Chains A and B, each alone.
Chain A
C-alpha cells in the first residue's frame, strides 16, 4: 500500500491557511443531515464533539466513563504549550515547530507539526474564553513556565491541574451542545468494533456497560479520540481504564498502526513500592524547573541509603552527582524526557539508586527553596534574613507553584518533600505511536478519523512536555472540524445508514463471538494476573532499552502468554444483564496482547535509536541515541490481519524540506 500523507503543496508556512481556504465546505443545511460518531470525551474528543455540534452536525459522543469529565486528560498536570511569545523571549510559530520536530528526533511529519504550532495560540484564547483559570501574574496577564527540551518559556498552566481545567472547559462546551440537542451523549458505552460499509467507516458496535447489551450505531463518519495505549505495560502513569481497544479494533478492520514502538518513559514518577502496585504516579515535568536531579557519587553511600543507614541529607554537596547538569550543561535538568529517563536508568544500573529496590534517584528542591526564600526576603526589605526565615519563605513559594504535587507525593510515600528530596524513577507515560493518519487526520480507512493521543501524528519518536494537551485540543477544536468536511462534502446526498444492514449485524456477531470466547474459557487465572505478566515482558524487553535478542524473546513470550490467556482466563459474572468490570478488562487485555506483539515487531524492525526508542546496539560512544536517517527516516505503519500471518510494513517516507536533520544535542 502506498501511503499518501496528503500534505498540501506550497510553502510550509502557508499550507494550512491556503488549504483551509480552498477546502470543500458543507453548507449549514446539509450539516444537519450528516451524522458523526465521536468516540472519546477527553480533550480531543470533547473538543471535537463540541465544535462539530456547534457547526451544526448531528453528533453522537461515546465514552466508557460514567461522565465525559472523567477522561484520562483530566490527570494532566504540568501545562500546555503555545507559541504566544508573551514572554518576548524569542518564541515563534517556527520555533515551536522546530523544537517539536527536533524533540521528536526527526520522526514526525513537518506539515502536521507546523500546523500544530500555528493553531496553538488559538487554543489558549479559546480556553480563556471558556473560563479556564490559568495562572496569572500580578498585572493580570497570563503566566508561563518552562518545560523540557526548549529554551523559551511557553507553557501555560493552571497550578498542577492544567489537564483538569482544560478538560472541564471542553466538557462544559460539550455539555452546552448536549443541552442544545446537537450532541447526544452515551456514557458507560464502550466501542468494541468499527463498522465498514463499502470500505468506509459508517458506524460502531458499542457495549452498554451497565446492561451488557450490544448496540449498533450508524453515522456518516467516525472519529476516534480514544487516547493512548501505555497500559500495555500494566504499570504506567495512565488512568487504569486507558486501553487500545478502539484503535486496535480499527486495525483489525484494516486501519494502519504507525510507529507502535514509540513509547515515552517519563523520568519523574514515584517509584514502584510492591507487587500489589496498580499504577504509577507522575510527578510533573514542571518540577524540573526547580528540582535538581542527583544520586550519590559513591556506591557505598547509595548502599547505605538503600539499607536505611543514611538519608539524602547525610550526603554532603561534594559527594553528590547532579548527573543531568554534568552531562548536559546547556539544558541541565530540563533535557527532554527520553534523555533524562535514560540517564536515571544508567545511574541506577551503576548501583547508585537510592530506593530499597535500587530503582530511584533524587529530585531535590532545597536549592530552589533557598533561592526563592532569599528573593522573597529581599522583596520584603529583609536583606539579612536568617536561614529559618529564608527556608520558610522559600517553601511557601514552592508550595504555591507545586503544592498539589507535593501533597500528592506525601500522601503516597508518607515523606515530606519540602524537607527530604523526592525519590523518583522513570515510568511509562505516553504513546507517540498510534493510528496512522494523513494531513486530514483521516486513517487509511475512508471516513475513519483519529485525533489526540490515539493518532501518531505530531510527536515523532519523543513528545515534548506540555505538547499532548496542545495536540489534543488542536486536533479537536481547530483541525478535525475543518478537515472532516473534505470527506463529508461527498456525502451530502447520502441518506442515513441503516444499523440493521448486513455489515452491522455481522460486526455485532463478531463482537459477541469475542465476548463468548472469554466468558466460556472458565479457566483458573484472573485477567489482572495476565495483564501483569504481559506488562512485565513489555517493560523488561521493550521498555527503556531494547535489543534484538530481548525483543525476539519477547515476541515468543507474548504469543505463549496469549495462548494461555485464552485457555485459562477466568471471567466471573455474566456478559449480559449485569455490570461486569472483569469482562471489560478481559476484552481490553485481549487486545493489549496483539498490540504488545506489534510493538515488539516494530521495535525489532527499527534498527536505530531515536527518541524514546533506544536500541542498545545503536548508540554513540557516549551512550547517546544513534539515529540512522539514511535507512529509517520513515513512518512504520503496520497492517495486521491475525495471529497466523506476520504484520505487513508500509512506509511513509519523511521528507524534511524546512529543517536540517541533525543529531540531537542537549549538551
Chain B
C-alpha cells in the first residue's frame, strides 16, 4: 500500500492559497487566445480546435464567466456559442467538466473549473480548452460529454438497501468520529469524472473506490460491502473503463482530494468479496 503515499506537492504546482495576484495588482483587461475544441453542429463531427481572441478579461471573473463573455460575443456575431456544462458554479454539483491546458478542471489543485478564477492567468496567455476524453464518456457537443456510465455503476450496487421507513433511531448505532470523518472524505466525491479524464487508461477506479469506501466504512454499509464491491467493479468493466495501473494521476487531478487509499481499500474489499462469493465472472480489469 506504501506505493500510494506519493508526495502530492509534485502535482500542486499552483497552490491557490499561497499565490494571490490580486493583492499585487488588479487586471481588468487581459487579452487571451482561446484554443477551444468544437465538435458537432457546423464543426467537424470528429471535432477540431478553433482559436478565439478575447479582450477585456477581468481577473475577478471566474473561468466560466470568461466563457460566458466569449459566448455573448459569439452570439452577437450570430455564431453558435461554445457548449459547455455547468450548474452550481461553486464546486459541488460535478457538472462542469473541461480540460484546461491539459488538466481536467484546470491547473489549480482542489479546484473545479467553475471555481477557477482568471487571476491565475496572465495577459497574453494562450488557453487550451477541451472536453474530458475517455471512451466511456462520449462527446455530445463541443465540451459536453456523456457521463451516464457513472450513474449505471451506482445503480449496480452503490447504495445501502434501506427502504423508506425501515430505519431505526439514528443514534442507535454509534459511529466513531474518526470513522464518520473518513467515510465523509470518500463521500465528498462529486462524480465529475476528472479522475477518468486524468488517467491514461481512462480508469474509473478512484470514483468507484470512493463510493465503496464511503459506504463500507460505516457500520450501516458493512452488510452489503462485498456484494457492492463486486457489482460496481463488474459494471465499471462493462462500461469500458480501463484498468488501474497505479499512476495516481486521478488523485492529483481530483478536485475533491479523494485519496488513492480508497483504491487500496476497494482492492481489499474486492479480493475478499471475490473469495467469499466465489464469483465466476470474468474479473477483467478487476479492481486493479
Contact = CB atoms under 8 A, between A and B. Distances in A.
B55 interface: no
26 contacts: A66-B95, A70-B93, A125-B168, A125-B170, A128-B170, A129-B220, A130-B220, A131-B214, A131-B215, A134-B180, A141-B174, A142-B171, A161-B188, A171-B154, A176-B155, A239-B87, A240-B87, A274-B61, A278-B89, A408-B91, A478-B165, A481-B164, A526-B76, A573-B80, A578-B41, A582-B75
Interface string B140-173: 1100101110110011111111111111111101
Contacts of A185: 151
B26 to A, nearest CB: 10
Contacts of B239: none
Interface string A109-135: 000000000000010111111110111
B22 A133 contact: no
Contacts of A84: 170
Nearest to A139: B174
A75 B162 contact: no
B93 A239 contact: yes
A407 B68 CA distance: 24
B151 A161 contact: no
B88 interface: yes
A66 B169 contact: no
Nearest to B221: A131
A50 interface: yes
Contacts of B81: 572, 581-582
B104 interface: no
Nearest to A48: B164
B90 interface: yes
A529 B93 CA distance: 25
B155 A274 contact: no
Contacts of B150: 67
A662 interface: no
B140 A579 contact: yes
Given A410-B17, A570-B78, A578-B40, A140 B160 contact: no
Query: Which 9 A-B pairs rank lowest in CB-CB distance, beginning with the nearest?
Result: A140-B174, A172-B159, A129-B167, A125-B167, A129-B162, A133-B184, A414-B22, A128-B170, A51-B164
Interface in B188-203: 188, 190-191
A72 interface: yes
A208 B272 CA distance: 43
B184 A239 contact: no
Contacts of A17: none
A65 B166 contact: no
A168 interface: yes
A570 B75 CA distance: 8
Interface stretch (B4-12, B110-118, B241-249, B274-282): B110-118
B107 interface: no
A249 interface: no
A66 B85 contact: yes
The residue among B40, B79, B90 with the most chain A CB atoms within 10 A of its own CB is: B90
Contacts of A410: 16-17
Nearest to B186: A133
B220 A281 contact: no
A185 B152 CA distance: 11
A179 B68 contact: no
A572 B20 CA distance: 38
B271 interface: no
A179 B155 contact: yes
Contacts of A70: 87, 93-95
Given A128-B173, A239-B88, A276-B68, 13 more contacts: A66-B146, A67-B151, A72-B87, A128-B167, A136-B174, A137-B177, A187-B148, A240-B89, A278-B64, A478-B165, A526-B76, A570-B78, A572-B80
Given A66-B95, A72-B88, A573-B41, A130 B162 contact: yes
B87 A176 contact: no
Interface in B205-238: 214-215, 218, 220-221
Interface string A187-223: 1000000000000000000000010000000000000
B177 A138 contact: yes
A178 interface: yes
A634 interface: no
Nearest to B77: A572
Given A66-B148, A124-B170, A179-B155, A478 B92 contact: no
Contacts, number: 223
Contacts of B17: 407, 410, 416
Nearest to A279: B89
A529 B168 CA distance: 52
A65 B95 CA distance: 9
A175 interface: yes
A493 interface: no
B68 A74 contact: no
Nearest to B116: A411
Contact of A131 (B76, B174, B218): B218
B170 A142 contact: yes
Interface in B238-276: none
Contact of B92 (A161, A171, A578): A161
Contact of A126 (B62, B146, B165, B214): B165
A277 B89 CA distance: 11
Contact of B140 (A136, A139, A210): A210
Interface in A274-328: 274, 276-279, 281
A210 B187 CA distance: 30
Contacts of A570: 75, 78
Contacts of B157: 179
Interface in A44-80: 47, 50-51, 54, 65-70, 72, 74-75
Nearest to A276: B65
B136 interface: no
Given A412-B117, A414-B22, A414-B117, A240 B72 contact: no
A173 B160 CA distance: 7
Contacts of B214: 131, 133
A413 to B, nearest CB: 8
A134 B181 CA distance: 9
B175 interface: yes
Contacts of B156: 179
Contacts of A168: 187
Given A129-B166, A133-B214, A175 B187 contact: no
